[in-house]
Structure 1
């Protein structure tokens, strides 16, 4: 099959939902570090009629991401990139969260910014945590997040927390990383625009994916997550399909052709609830 290429980096719940929603009738490149998960989804989608290529990637390694971008570009014009790869505080160390969620996303923006086709678009998954941490990031740090080389970002004070409990260190690193994602996408939008392309971020609230459940059930943040789900305006978990619908809109160069460099909050009104006190973050206020 020859056609515009969709690349999905990270094949967890959100990545799978995006691939299925947007993948019909076009080449789809699925990429992940977890080979078993990658092969399972690729095989299932092929059996359902999709033109799928799988490609292993370590988003924290520039060479690996560059190989992926070049592989995708070799199949045809890359017109849609959905970067969903990430680790949560319940899943990894602060160092690994910084490597994947912060450095990895910045590398992906760089490398796919070199191959994205005119008329194409990218979406990068951030988090409501980035909004919660907005005031914690001063202007100097924000400028560094926007402009520093990707591989240097993990050194921006995120891991220098020797007196902070491990749970809180992971949560703080995650929050700073997701704020950095929002800032970095905005900063990269003009560069993508030079190629006639757009790029935006999406910040989900608590979404009922395996990662979302890991966070919801983590003891150190359970009360906050329970309120974020039960007390938001929608009164429910988000779904991977909610995020895929937002990605579908932002990647559509007819519906969203004048939208670039923005963050779309897909949280069922959770942040609004935090602002009014309806959603209670309790002692875990900076660990969403």
Structure 2
């Protein structure tokens, strides 16, 4: 029985073909939503679409590059043509760059910022236009604990996710008069090996210490993020929540670590 009231809601999940996005799309559809997989990887998108449709879920893949305004406009237009509107947007698509600041090109920096920060802005802008016509909606930005803490050589990713948190509270205020809630979710270590497209799918290779270092006792699973997103998308359960960030990391960002 569905846990969340998403019946007949129209949800766009960017990067919905693999990983966390795939889990969010699946859980939303299982709870009655009509879901668009806005995915740049056609192979992943079509495979996920087929997988979920085999289960009788209402899911449609639309090839989308969130960094390209025309691609986003086309995706939103097709969503409205297919389902009649937009109620929920999950800005999940993102890319990573791990390289020394002295070796990374400016083009590499700008590409990460374009996908991870400008992309959510573009998607929010066009999805919000359609949400207004429906009397409101919900935008969920998938940020990261790397917005709050870092490993070496991850500057563009961390900066983009930090910017996404600021974009979240800014949009929450700007769109409040239209009854559009905007929230962020910051995952920690989420093991996605089982949620990739088939040619990349594998079993996780996790050590006991990987689980034990988390106060919650385990590494995260994509469904951990999907459930908080489904809760936040449910206006009956989360209608009083907007402008804030939920850290879902098994407690790692509050754990003090000292050398032996």
Question: Residue 215 of structure 2 is aligned with which of 209, 214, 233?
Answer: 233
Q: CA RMSD in A?
A: 2.8
CA distance in 1, matches of 2:116, 2:44: 19
- Residues 79-228 of structure 1 mapped to structure 2, 5 A cutoff: 79-90=87-98, 93-116=108-131, 117-132=134-149, 168-169=152-153, 171-210=154-193
SS of aligned partner of 2:11: strand
Question: Residue 16 of structure 1 is aligned with which of 22, 30, 39?
Answer: 22
Between Structure 1 and Structure 2, the one with more helix by share is 1
Counterpart of 2:56? 49
CA distance in 1, matches of 2:209, 2:246: 21
CA change 1:106–1:229 in 2 (3 A) is farther
Alpha-carbon distance, 1:69 to partner: 1.8
Q: Are the equivalent residues in 1 in contact too, given 2:19–2:222 (CA < 8 A)?
A: yes
Q: Structure 2 length normalisation: TM-score? A: 0.80
CA distance in 2, matches of 1:73, 1:237: 38
CA offsets, 1:153-191, max 9 Å, x none? xxxxxxxxxxxxxx955x011111110000001100123
CA distance in 2, matches of 1:39, 1:90: 29
Question: Residue 65 of structure 2 is aligned with which of 58, 62, 65?
Answer: 58
Runs of 4+ aligned residues of structure 1 deviating over 6 Å after TM superposition are: none
Q: Are the equivalent residues in 1 in contact too, given 2:175–2:181 (CA < 8 A)?
A: yes
SS of aligned partner of 2:87: strand
CA distance in 1, matches of 2:160, 2:194: 16
Alpha-carbon distance, 1:240 to partner: 0.2
Alpha-carbon distance, 1:194 to partner: 2.1
Alignment size in residue pairs: 231
Q: Structure 1 length normalisation: TM-score? A: 0.73
Q: Which moved more, 1:243-252 or 1:232-241?
A: 232-241
Alpha-carbon distance, 1:259 to partner: 0.6
CA change 1:108–1:210 in 2 (3 A) is farther
Counterpart of 2:85? 77
Alpha-carbon distance, 1:35 to partner: 0.3
CA change 1:262–1:109 in 2 (3 A) is same
Counterpart of 1:277? 257
Counterpart of 1:256? 238
CA distance in 2, matches of 1:27, 1:238: 26
Q: Are the equivalent residues in 2 in contact too, given 1:119–1:253 (CA < 8 A)?
A: no
Alpha-carbon distance, 1:62 to partner: 1.1
